[in-house]
Chains A and B, each alone.
Chain A
Amino acid sequence: EDKVVQSPLSLVVHEGDTVTLNCSYEVTNFRSLLWYKQEKKAPTFLFMLTSSGIEKKSGRLSSILDKKELFSILNITATQTGDSAVYLCVPSGGSNYKLTFGKGTLLTVNP
């Protein structure tokens, strides 16, 4: 059975802190790993990772994938209150690129 485990489940930090969110996964016929941010509505796309060791960056966010260890991390530097959300690590697999969702990490950034 495909699964994804994110840690920590919940994290509270102060503005300006740097956070690292962890994700381990097991997926049959792995295709890619996607990170999403979910606030009150549907998830918004952050990154798609397909190759190991290549860091993807977007502003203060960055992410990297280790396909050998089945692991990915999402880093957020200089956090802001607007970063407060649930962050979802979502592997895709199979011929239909089916996504497997875990519980996510709830990040709360306090002013």
Chain B
Amino acid sequence: GAVVSQHPSWVICKSGTSVKIECRSLDFQATTMFWYRQFPKQSLMLMATSNEGSKATYEQGVEKDKFLINHASLTLSTLTVTSAHPEDSSFYICSARVRLAGGPGEQFFGPGTRLTVL
């Protein structure tokens, strides 16, 4: 099956610093990657949709200047949490949609990145 990796798995940082999370599709090309956030015992919340070579589309209530997304290639998207605060502590998960001509394409999730901001 398709593999999506995320790096790092776990990061602890001080308040005010920026953190970059990478999402890679390892064995397939992903036209679209999605970034989610999940708080404990809650469902995944979509933050933004990222298409290769274009600007990300952010969901309502998500600050685009705070959560910078770059989808530079068909296999890599990055999420940078700028000036992180303790309330940004969460589990960040990316998913990648398999590029299939004319088809819906399956979506595969990365293993997630747990961010703790002190």
Contact = CB atoms under 8 A, between A and B. Distances in A.
A36 interface: yes
B7 to A, nearest CB: 13
Interface of B: 1, 32, 34, 43-46, 49, 51, 57, 91, 93, 95, 97, 104-112
Nearest to B97: A97
A43 B1 CA distance: 14
Interface of A: 31-32, 34, 36, 41-45, 48, 50, 88, 92, 96-99, 101-104
B57 A34 contact: no
B49 A98 contact: yes
A46 to B, nearest CB: 10
A97 B107 contact: yes
State the main secondary structure of chain B at its contact with A.
strand
Contacts, number: 52
A31 B107 CA distance: 12
Contacts of B104: 31-32, 48, 50, 92, 97
Nearest to A103: B43
Contacts of B107: 34, 45, 92, 97, 99
B95 A99 contact: yes
B2 to A, nearest CB: 8
A92 B105 CA distance: 10
A31 B57 CA distance: 19
21 contacts: A32-B104, A42-B93, A42-B109, A42-B110, A42-B111, A43-B44, A45-B1, A45-B109, A48-B104, A48-B106, A88-B43, A96-B32, A96-B57, A97-B32, A97-B104, A97-B107, A98-B34, A99-B34, A101-B43, A101-B44, A101-B46
